[in-house]
Amino acid sequence: MSRIPVAVLGATGMVGQRLLQLLDVHPWFEPAFLGASVQSAGKPLAESGRWLLPEPVPASARLELRPLDAPFDCPLVFSALPSDVAGTVEERLAAEGKAVCSNAAAHRLAPEVPLLIPEVNPDQTALIELQRRRRGGAGLIVTNPNCSTVQVVLALKPLHDAFGLAEVAVTTLQALSGAGYPGLPAMDVLDNVIPFIAGEEAKLEREPLKLLGEVRDGRLREAEIRISAQCNRVAVRDGHLACLTVRLRSPASLDEVGRLWQEFRGALEARNLPSTPPRPVRVHSAADRPQPRLDRDAGGGMAVSVGRLQSSPLGGLKCVVLGHNTVRGAAGAAIHNAELLLEQGWLRGPGGVPARPPVPAKEA
């Protein structure tokens, strides 16, 4: 069976290129339309002088870049657009009946838009009903979290379920690719740290509340957790590292926490999705792990690595969490969400019947 054709918007950017790289070998989806700004449109991405990733270049990079308002047939859209552009483009596409998996921040906190991590809150797709009632149309928008949020929430989820999270202080050391391309000037980064990322701390303090919330009666109730974030940019290509100090609502031993991570497989509905790693959380016991260079590609970039688990002198625990920011934190997250939508029957095929995965999950 052939793969489902998909559109990738913002294809020339850092996340867009990761989308093409990941979709190049995806069992279900195949890029058929690459949308970009008018200035970039008109030639194949691979020949635009903007391809940024190492060899090998994916086949879909040979597709011609098209303007964002060009028509296309694909029922499923991945949006890696800048947030200021994403809002209206994504709304228009949803109104036209497309299913939009967005990496942009524009709609993340809207009450009727799911903010998803398939292993964490697959039930939040129920908000799509509310979305359709409010916005009309047969399309939909779902979003994935900010790149520094995903990994932190994946690590915190089993602890929240078992003990309840009360307070989290998180300091991040974030990779350059999170700023897109061209991103930061080399002159600012070499032999330096930038202790500021615009808007990032607010996202990291707020998005987990929605991700760890509950859907009741078709509406979302956010979790009640106090989070304080401090975000730094460091001279690392890929891989956001986060240092966490966590206070739980009920006491937990380090052994229990370690075991919860070891055993965490994520929500049932997510377990058979192609992008769900067998072990979404990898636990390190070596004192100097996880490290961005060594661990960002664990589970094809979709597994999160935790380590340095210790009791905190403030009560609770401290630990380090690492994830690949443009895979698990962006492109892979959007694809993961699309897999969940397909598995749950939200995507429509020809004739309006729910589309099915072209090949069985996990056997591709």
Q: What are the residues binding a second copy (CB under 8 A)?
A: 14, 49, 52-56, 167, 169, 171, 173, 176-177, 181-196, 198, 205, 226-228, 230, 232, 234-237, 241, 243, 245, 286-299, 307-308, 312-314, 318, 320
> Does residue 240 have an active-site annotation?
yes
Compute CA 318 distance to the chain's CA centroid, rounded to the nearest angstrom: 24
* Cβ-based nearer residue to a second copy, 287 or 353: 287
CB of 129 to a second copy, least distance (A): 32
Q: Which of 26, 74, 101, 147 is catalytic?
A: 147
Nearest to 119 by CA among 323, 357, 293, 295: 323
Spatial contact of 150 and 329, defined as CB atoms under 8 Å apart: yes
* Cβ-based nearer residue to a second copy, 26 or 240: 240
CB of 344 to a second copy, least distance (A): 30
* Cβ-based nearer residue to a second copy, 134 or 226: 226
Residues contacting residue 279 through CB under 8 Å, at least 6 positions apart: 262, 264, 265, 299, 303
CB of 194 to a second copy, least distance (A): 6
CB of 23 to a second copy, least distance (A): 20
SS3 213: coil
* Cβ-based nearer residue to a second copy, 47 or 129: 47
- Residue 291: phi and psi, rounded to 5, are -125, 140
Q: What are the CB-based long-range contacts (under 8 Å, 24+) for 87-94?
A: 89/9, 90/141, 91/135, 91/141, 93/139, 94/135, 94/137, 94/139, 94/140, 94/141
Nearest to 104 by CA among 331, 270, 325: 331
H or E stretch including 343? helix 332-344
* Cβ-based nearer residue to a second copy, 320 or 333: 320
Spatial contact of 29 and 56, defined as CB atoms under 8 Å apart: no
CB of 361 to a second copy, least distance (A): 21
Q: Which of 26, 107, 160, 240 is catalytic?
A: 240
- Active-site residue numbers? 147, 240
